[in-house]
Structure 1
Amino acid sequence: MDTINQNIKTSNPTITLSIKREDLLHPFVSGNKFRKLKYNILEAKELNHHLLVTFGGAFSNHIAAVAFACHEAGIESVGIIRGDELEGKILENPTLQFAQNCGMKFEFVSRDVYQNKASDDFAYQLEKKYGRHYLLPEGGTNELAIKGCEEILTNQDAEFDYICCSVGTGGTISGIINRVNENQKILGFPALKGDFLKDEIRKFANNNNWELITDYHFGGYAKVTNELVNFINRFYEDTKIPLDPVYTGKMVYGVLDLISKNYFPNGSKILMIHTGGLQGISGMNHLLEKKKMNKIIFDV
């Protein structure tokens, strides 16, 4: 399915705000995951790899997307999952259940072990256990992922002054940075605490017309509040556009808040990138229910 740019009303009538519906790209491999996996799956097939190994957490959009994409491409997949306590709880986890139904095998490791996933020793152990395989990092960010994310923007998007997107591992925003014109400014809204992502982005990004807005993480990665959930629900009621609470929901909240605070000059044209991630809403609602917090209305 093609993406569309959908207009959003704001508190400032002089500002044009649109959201690019990358979530509509594919029913199961949506948004930036579709972009990141496109050339990696092609490369794996080109190199005649029959197994892809990757990493992710309990409700990882990346794990779900890789599982389906590999199934569709006829490639076996293994997910190294953060949290050995999750073993035996697959049926309680909609993301892992979906990935398993797509044929993905799991290896559950402790958080301490998981922290060393990028080490040479970890790679050696994977090679020893699984033999020849295509290794994809957590979040899917590598040179081929950047190439795919450079295709998010089209020539028609050159009219926008600001391009806004959520930031996880830095791959999506790097591709966007490489694609924009000199007169456009890119604003990234990290879903994690801290400023460390700048160095990751500089590894792949060719331009300097970007900055990170670090005030809208709502406590850190996968952390949500009733304020954020209520915002996502109101936004869905007003626009019929679902937002995930980990990434895009925080970014949209941030952009609208900045507009209300006159951060953007009058007459600005702003494009927000919807990076998908809606599959994680079911799992998040399960956690919210346990915490006796408000739940997200839209559920996939």
Structure 2
Amino acid sequence: MKVLTQKILLKASKVELYIRREDLIHPFVSGNKFRKLKYNLLEAKKQKYTTLLTFGGAFSNHIAALAFAGKEAGLKTIGIIRGEELADQVATNPTLLFAQQCGMKFEFVSREAYRTKSDPAFIAMLQDKFQEFYIVPEGGTNELAVQGCQEILTAEDAQYNFVCTAVGTGGTISGLINSAVDDQKILGFPALKGDFLQKDICKFVQNKNWELITDYHFGGYGKVTEELIQFLNQFYKENVIPLDPVYTGKMVFGVMDMIANNYFPDNSKILLIHTGGLQGIQGMNQYLIKKKLPIIEYHG
């Protein structure tokens, strides 16, 4: 799809496109992270925990959001970070530096060890080292997170035929599925390769009003192409709406491509959920500069 035809495409099509700016909820705990953490923080305080512990990678939106939210809630925070080499890169990593400035303590582990993060033995090791803590899963997804994400849609949103969201760990789309009306279709655009997300989502939902669109991951989690960067920059230029390259940007690209290929019936009203993640653009641009690729234009 030629990105220069975005406005022409929408004018020529017989669908209406809307964007829910969840990224504007909070300057540091934006989008789905605000929704996912809302009830988890309340539960942690209810159970008298003083420390939150979670997991994430080098430029994790979740790590940054939880660090700030924990600080605001008066809770200590610990981040188990994937990649031992990052221990020496905190000062030059905008996400980790921000989290550290919010008071988060880090434990850097190898990628091999990180893959065992849910194993009882690994959790026991963390408890020996850090004592008592409330665990928030990687990406924030659990039943309380889904409860928070169910609040994204309101009664007024019943007018939309399709609701589209990026998918990481499945919490956001699960909340949307649970709160959608019967004649709405929820479309999820995974940022990762593979079909394992089907099982993860089915843990939280019973409705069948959803589908995963798996054609727009651009190579996998955190992967980008010049075509995607061009799209993000053109979308920003035309609409003054920044999109992150890992999640929402890929979803919006996918929806526009599907419109161009007549996926949606005439007169459809389509709601796109902007789930935030803009803090990751700075780190992505560092990577793009090293690779001598065009950068993402964003003046946030």
Question: What is the TM-score normalised by the length of structure 1?
Answer: 0.96
**1:138, distance to aligned residue in structure 2 (A):** 0.3
- What SS does structure 2 have at the residue aligned with 1:295? coil
Equivalent residue, structure 2, for 1:261: 261
* Deviation sequence 1:155-211 (CA, Å, 0-9, x none): 111000000000000000000000001100010000001111000000001211101
Residue type at the aligned position of 1:19: I
Equivalent residue, structure 2, for 1:236: 236
Q: Judge conservation of contact 1:62–1:138 (CA < 8 Å) in 2.
A: yes
Equivalent residue, structure 1, for 2:277: 277
- Could you tell me how far apart the structure 1 residues matched to 2:10 and 2:205 are? 30
Map 1:202-221 to 2 at 5 A: 202-221=202-221
- Could you tell me how far apart the structure 2 residues matched to 1:18 and 1:251 are? 13
- What SS does structure 2 have at the residue aligned with 1:14? coil
- Could you tell me how far apart the structure 1 residues matched to 2:96 and 2:160 are? 38
- Could you tell me how far apart the structure 1 residues matched to 2:20 and 2:106 are? 33
- Could you tell me how far apart the structure 2 residues matched to 1:278 and 1:10 are? 25
Map 1:79-94 to 2 at 5 A: 79-94=79-94
Quick one: structure 1 residues 143 and 8, their matched pair in 2 at CA, closer, same or farther if it must change by over 3 Å?
Answer: farther
Equivalent residue, structure 2, for 1:4: none
Equivalent residue, structure 1, for 2:290: 290
Quick one: structure 1 residues 299 and 116, their matched pair in 2 at CA, closer, same or farther if it must change by over 3 Å?
Answer: farther
- What SS does structure 2 have at the residue aligned with 1:113? helix
Map 1:32-51 to 2 at 5 A: 32-51=32-51
- Could you tell me how far apart the structure 2 residues matched to 1:256 and 1:188 are? 14
Give structure 1 stretches of 5+ with no counterpart.
1-6
Q: Judge conservation of contact 2:166–2:191 (CA < 8 Å) in 1.
A: yes
**1:9, distance to aligned residue in structure 2 (A):** 7.2
- Could you tell me how far apart the structure 2 residues matched to 1:17 and 1:32 are? 20
CA RMSD of aligned residues (A): 1.2
Residue type at the aligned position of 1:293: L
Q: Judge conservation of contact 1:9–1:17 (CA < 8 Å) in 2.
A: no
Equivalent residue, structure 1, for 2:195: 195
- What SS does structure 1 have at the residue aligned with 2:26? coil
**1:14, distance to aligned residue in structure 2 (A):** 1.8
- What SS does structure 1 have at the residue aligned with 2:183? coil
**1:13, distance to aligned residue in structure 2 (A):** 3.6
Q: Judge conservation of contact 2:13–2:259 (CA < 8 Å) in 1.
A: no
Residue type at the aligned position of 2:281: I
Question: What is the TM-score normalised by the length of structure 2?
Answer: 0.96
Equivalent residue, structure 2, for 1:3: none
**1:10, distance to aligned residue in structure 2 (A):** 1.4
**1:299, distance to aligned residue in structure 2 (A):** 4.4
Q: Judge conservation of contact 1:11–1:259 (CA < 8 Å) in 2.
A: no
**1:81, distance to aligned residue in structure 2 (A):** 0.1
